[in-house]
Amino acid sequence: GTKEVLMEVLQLIDYYDLYGSVSYPKRHDPDEVPLMYQMAARTRGVFVNPAFTEPFGLTLIESAASGLPIVATEDGGPIEILEHCQSGLLIDPLDHESMGDKLLDALSDAKRWKKWSRSGLAGARKHFSWQAHAQKYLRVAHALVHKSQNRRVGLRAMRKLVAADRFLLCDVDDTLIGEREPLDKLVGLLDQAGGQVAFGIATGRNKDLTLEVLKEWNVPNPALLITGVGTEIYYGVHLVRDRGWDNTIRHRWFPEAVRELLKDVEGLDFQSEEAQTEFKVSFVVDPDRMPKVPEIRRKLRKANLPSTVVYSHGSYVDILPVRASKGKALRYFALKWGIPIERCVVAGDSGNDVEMLSGNTLGIVVGNHDDEVAKLKGYPRVYFAEGRHAWGILEGLEHYDFFNEPRNPKQEPMVDD
């Protein structure tokens, strides 16, 4: 490719008889580059970058810092550089006639050329020197530190996550809540456990509905909140959202295309607008009329919309990004905060809990579980409690000796539903 371009350049030099007016050295050392810019500036030239796209434009900054005006593509970095340096013109690289006119214009006005040269020197020094970069960095850092000191963002909860060496993560509906007495007992045990134990919630509800039900049942705000069937992660009392998780699951996620593909599928009806989120498309289903979950998954895959399909409580189907689920969110969290996944106890009751129950965690299935979870029976790291709701969680925690030294039975392969 380079050879073809060079041949074209040489042919154009020959065609227009530009010998003696064009230099194309076979090699140059790094310390010679500034001299080239200075030579072009001394002969009242301009630096031209007609690329189709230019992500940043380091050569443009070098030109401006050498007092050499710029004619550059109106794409990407050159826009910002010329905004700061005011040292040239932007061009459309596909419009050859306009480009020629602007080049001629740039070279013809000596007074404006001098103004551009001076502006480029000042602008490069003010906005793109190392000193300017360091000062900008310090301003941003100072603002962030000041903001965090004012907000004290979930500091206590964050400290607990850092100090914890084991973790309890519970589903909400029909698992954590349902009976007041065992729930109060569980909250008391967690409070007594101190900094070694951290507590979190993983639910299909959205954030607001989750906080509402936790307040109603007098459950203190958790150190970790996973909502929307694993599509959103929040930390601490101020509910700081993990934007890194958002960026992770956004990969190949096209919710509008998912809605369009499934809108007329028999047995699937969209849930209310309140249930739909940025990373979740939710349906109420008729189990007798809806397609099987593998069929829904195949339909999405054939449309080049790979997704996670979650069927729960015999009534709901949630379509999530392919990288999202309660189990994947938990593993992301554990890796990020350095908590061994083998020391995470998870409690649930329905199909949207299956993945997090059947990973390398210690699982508790409460006595009032749905049929969707029954396939996990026999897994040595999934304990089926007799007690319902929080009674079952307490029973499972005793089984694993969670508040002393959690036992880790041998793990079975993860189930694929």
- 340-384 pLDDT, tens digit per residue, is 888 899 999 998 899 899 878 999 999 999 998 999 998 889 999
Q: How confident is the model at residue 313 (pLDDT cuts 50, 70, 90)?
A: confident
CA distance 370 to 357: 14
Q: Which residues contact 336 (CB under 8 A, 6 or more apart)?
A: 242, 244
Residue range 95-154, pLDDT digits in tens: 989 999 999 999 999 999 999 999 999 999 999 999 988 998 999 998 888 766 554 444
Angle at 16 between CA 15 and CA 18, to 5 degrees: 115
User: Can you name the residues that pair with 383 across neighbouring β-strands?
Assistant: 364
- What one-letter code names the amino acid at 129? S
pLDDT per position as a tens digit, 290-299: 999 999 999 9
Is residue 26 within 8 Å of 16, Cβ to Cβ? no
Judge contact between 344 and 306, C-beta under 8 A. Answer: no
* pTM of the complete model: 0.61
Is residue 73 within a helix (H) or strand (E), and if so which, with residue range? strand 70-73
Q: Would you list the DSSP string of 225-246? A: EEETTTTEEEETTTTEE-HHHH
Position 412 confidence tier, pLDDT thresholds 50, 70, 90:
very low
**Contact by Cβ (8 Å): 327, 378:** no
Instruction: Report the candidate in 277, 273, 276, 316 with the shortest Cα–Cα distance to residue 296.
Output: 316
pLDDT of residue 161: 72
Beta pairing, strands 88-91 & 70-73: parallel
Rounded to an integer, what distance in angstroms lies between the CA atom of residue 417 and that of residue 406?
28
Ramachandran region of residue 42, left (φ > 0), alpha (ψ -120 to 50) or beta?
Answer: alpha
CA angle 305–310–316, rounded 5-degree value: 115
Give the C-alpha distances (Å, rounded to integers) separating 294 from 214, 266, 282, 310, 350.
Answer: 34, 15, 17, 10, 18
Residue range 217-232: mean pLDDT, rounded:
93
In contact, 384 and 365? CB cutoff 8 Å: yes
Q: How confident is the model at residue 414 (pLDDT cuts 50, 70, 90)?
A: very low
**Cα–Cα distance, 201 to 227 (Å, whole number):** 8
What is the mean predicted confidence (pLDDT) over 319-344? Answer: 91
User: Residues 323-329: what's their mean pLDDT?
Assistant: 94
Which helix (H) or strand (E) segment holds residue 331: the answer is helix 326-337
Higher-pLDDT residue of 339 and 253 is: 253
- pLDDT, tens digit, for every residue of 58-97? 999 999 999 999 999 998 899 999 999 999 999 998 898 9
Q: How far is 337 from 347, CA to CA, in rounded Å?
A: 20
Tens digit of each residue's pLDDT (9 = 90 or more) over 17-59: 999 888 887 788 888 989 999 999 999 999 999 988 888 899 9
The tens digit of pLDDT for each residue in 244-286 reads 999 999 988 999 999 999 999 999 999 999 889 999 999 999 9
Question: What are 268's strand-pairing partners?
Answer: 285
pLDDT in tens, 151-198: 444 445 556 677 778 899 999 999 999 999 999 999 999 988 877 888
The per-residue pLDDT for 1 is 78
Phi and psi at 69, nearest 5°, equal -60, 165
